[in-house]
Amino acid sequence: MSAALAATLALAACGASNEETDPATAAEGGSGEELSGTLVGAGASSQQAAMQGWTAGYSSIQPDVTVNYDPIGSGGGREQFLAGGTDFAGSDAALDEEELAQAEERCGEAGIFELANYIAPIAVVYNLEGVDELNLSPEVLAGIFNQEITNWNDPAIAADNPDATLPDLPITPVNRSDESGTTENFTEYLVAAAGDAWPHEASGDWPVSGGEAAQGTSGVVSAVSAGNGSIGYADLSQAGDLGVANIGVGEEFVEPTAEAAAAVVENSETLEGRGEYDFAIELARDTTESGNYPIVLISYHVGCVEYEDQETADLVADFMSYAVSEEGQQAAAEAAGSAPISDNLREQAQGAIDAITAAG
């Protein structure tokens, strides 16, 4: 209630001639009014850089609101949110059935919202002297990372790249040595798109042993840079001077761009049988649609549709509005190199945000 009162007072103070404002209408006004308080979130470290962009941008709009985001990891973020320790969670994966049941206890009948507000394309980066453009179909990509295709002059690679002169050089596949969401999304893609060429399960821990393993995105990028003939996967924004492979989608090869990454998220199906504002999606990893880049990492914002107090509801709604806004997505893109969400997704997300209320 205190925020509503504060908002009322603030409005009253601003316009002295105004009539007394009803607290309820003032609180539901959404953005535009002055809010104050602290918003606490925790979760995925993947969106930490974007979150820094959001909190910095948001503080210029709402200087009295402090947003604290603890990048403890997706699992920990969901756990803390469901236990009531935080106001919202950042998570690379949607809640599973068990967690949805817990969410009902945390948020009540109204349920939760899950918004895919952070989209980051994962690029396949390579270091190969004399080859400026490289096309890789999903099967070839899986073969390389499964260490079945071990030389750059392999006929399978040549078939994808008829114009390139491929050297006789061993391939060094580089993977993450730490458990990571990037690896999880990359293997998920290989499972969905490569068929039998990728016999492993999707996992945050790299499933194939014997490759070059490096710590973190920066470690992978530096390992690929260090060795001629290396290939790895990393966040597109971190690819730097390395070559970036075009990935086979349907009949064509798609370059990883922000637009192509946002397109695949927009064309993905929302998961059925969840709450009205639960926009958890089943990423169309095996898409054949033109201009879609299927190797993306998405990170959700998870929160309650109905909060116990008005202050939290206002803060969450206002901050989320900013995060999905064009300005907010731009701030994230600058801070983290993420792909801004499409207008359709924004509209969908805004619908959920407008529905956020306080109980009683």
Partner 1 sequence: MTSTTSAPPAQQPKSRPGDRIFAGTAKGAGILILIILAGVAVFLISESVPALTAPADEIPGDGGLASYIWPLIFGTLLSATIALLVATPLAVAIALFITFYAPRKLAAGLGYVVDLLAAIPSIVYGFWGIFWLAPRLVPFYRWLEENLGFIPFFVGPVSSSGRTMLTIGLVLAVMILPIVSAISREVFSQVPTLHTEAALALGATRWEMIKMAVIPYGKSGVIGGSMLGLGRALGETMAVAIILSGSAAGITWALITSANPQTIAANIALEFPESTGLAVNTLIASGLALFLITLLVNMLARWVVSRRADFSGAN
What are the residues binding partner 1 (CB under 8 A)? 45, 73-76, 79, 170, 172, 175, 177-181, 204-206, 209-215, 219, 222-223, 226-230
Closest CB 265 distance from partner 1, rounded Å:
23
Please, which residue, 56 or 226, has the CB nearer to partner 1?
A: 226
- Residue pair 256/293 in contact (Cβ under 8 Å)? The answer is yes
Please, which residue, 210 or 273, has the CB nearer to partner 1?
A: 210
Q: How far apart (Å, rounded) are the C-alpha atoms in residues 132 and 185?
A: 26
Residue owning tokens 């089943």: 282
- Residue pair 92/44 in contact (Cβ under 8 Å)? The answer is yes
Q: How far apart (Å, rounded) are the C-alpha atoms in residues 282 and 183?
A: 18
Closest CB 272 distance from partner 1, rounded Å:
28
Closest CB 267 distance from partner 1, rounded Å:
29
Q: How far apart (Å, rounded) are the C-alpha atoms in residues 167 and 230?
A: 13
Please, which residue, 143 or 173, has the CB nearer to partner 1?
A: 173
Q: Which two tokens stand for residue 311?
A: 């202050």
- Helix/strand/coil for 156: helix
Closest CB 201 distance from partner 1, rounded Å:
11
Please, which residue, 8 or 299, has the CB nearer to partner 1?
A: 299
Please, which residue, 172 or 238, has the CB nearer to partner 1?
A: 172
21-24: Cβ within 8 A, 24+ apart: none
Residue owning tokens 């207008």: 343
Closest CB 209 distance from partner 1, rounded Å:
4
